[in-house]
Amino acid sequence: MANDILKFLREKEYVSGEVLAKKLGISRVAVWKQIQKLKDIGYRIISDQNLGYCLVSRPDLLLPQEIQIGLSTKYIGKEMYYFPKLKSTNIIAKEKALHRAEGIDEGTLIIAERQSAGKGRLSREWFSPVGGIWLSIVLYPQLSPSYISRITLMTAVAAVKAIKICTQIESQIKWPNDILINEKKVCGILTEMSAELDIINWVVVGIGINVNIDHREFPEDIQENTISLKEALDKEVLRVKLVQTFLQEFEKYYEKLKRKEFPSILGEWKLYSHTLGKKIRADIGERIVTGEAIDINESGALILKKEDGELIEIISGTII
Ligand code: BT5
């Protein structure tokens, strides 16, 4: 009901309580109650005895009604679950993904203003204070499980593009899932999946972007290596616009991936790469390897050339 009221308030400068009540088939008192609810979550609505209600400003909240208005995707983000605070959007998305049969469609989005237990890879912590974008997308790709790393790379390309469109900032991708500005991390991606031998049951892509955050809010040991878009730009960024742009870019690249056009996505990834051509040390779980990052292959693995000339393929790891 509150959403319907918002729709009418967006269309005209002033709308009377009587007109709203008639259009929605409710009493004027019920309209007033809905207006109070909207005010409580940050909408500024003024009222004039003769003219009615007027929407003055909207909160910078990632509310479904704000994101979905003007969102031009076909299915990504068409169904949305919004939380002012939760543990982790990936946790909720994984729970939702189990209920595909009950109408949790491909593209379902979980989004939160802040997370109390945001997750990075390998159970690392992801700090998610108010002012960032913390979201997860549920997918059911008919692809082989080996495609999982390509989904992470494709998400990074979509994020770099969205950041560029909304802020003009040229960010870079550190293989496999970090997005950097001036060598500092602004965004991370966590892709999780459930699969059987050769089919994927579901994939959850989680992405966190530091938008309007002061990096000094993070624990001291990571402050030096973190940045937000606000800090890089020296002004606040409209988060709703950035979410919409990211979802649109995400859908575009995901469609390409499904059409098996990964090579062209990889071409773009390489343009934004922070890693290729650099001497790196990579933690690959059981050991640390050193060498030059010379390429990313068709399955998204990093090719490292060791000092003795040996080439190794790193499917998953962390660059130190
Ligand atoms: C990642 O892991 O970079 C994946 C982050 C994914 C976060 C999103 S938010 C929405 C969704 N829901 C979740 O619970 N997670 C996803 P990794 O490559 O393992 O990097 C983790 C490391 O990044 C930590 O150990 C810190 O050093 C650093 N870090 C933590 N929070 C950060 C932040 N907000 N900005 C930059 N660096 C951060």
Distances (CA, A) of 91 to 94, 114, 210: 5, 14, 20
- What pLDDT does residue 126 have? 98
Q: Is the CB of 110 under 6 A from ligand 1?
A: no
Read off the tokens for 214: 């002061």
Which atom, in ligand 1's list, is nearest to the CA of 132? 34
Q: Is the CB of 152 under 6 A from ligand 1?
A: no
Read off the tokens for 21: 């009540």
- For the segment 44-77, what is each residue's pLDDT rounded down to a tens digit? 999 999 999 999 988 889 999 899 988 999 999 9
Amino acid at 128: S
Give the residue among 165, 163, 153 at the shortest CA–CA distance from 191. Answer: 153
DSSP 157-184: HHHHHHHHHHH----EEETTTEEEETTE
The pTM score is: 0.93
Give the span between the Cα atoms of 59 and 38, in whole angstroms. Answer: 10
Q: Is the CB of 155 under 6 A from ligand 1?
A: no
Structural domains in the chain, sorted by start: 1-57 (1.10.10.10), 64-272 (3.30.930.10), 278-319 (2.30.30.100)
Nearest residue CA, atom 3 of ligand 1?
188
Which 8-state DSSP code applies to residue 88?
-
Could you tell me if 163 and 171 are in contact, meaning their C-beta atoms sit under 8 angstroms apart?
yes
Q: Is the CB of 130 under 6 A from ligand 1?
A: no
- What pLDDT does residue 203 have? 98
- For the segment 19-50, what is each residue's pLDDT rounded down to a tens digit? 999 999 999 999 999 999 999 988 999 999 99
Give the residue among 109, 113, 45 at the shortest CA–CA distance from 248. Answer: 109
- What pLDDT does residue 163 have? 98
pLDDT less than 50: residues of the chain: none
Beta carbons within 10 angstroms of residue 11's beta carbon: 9
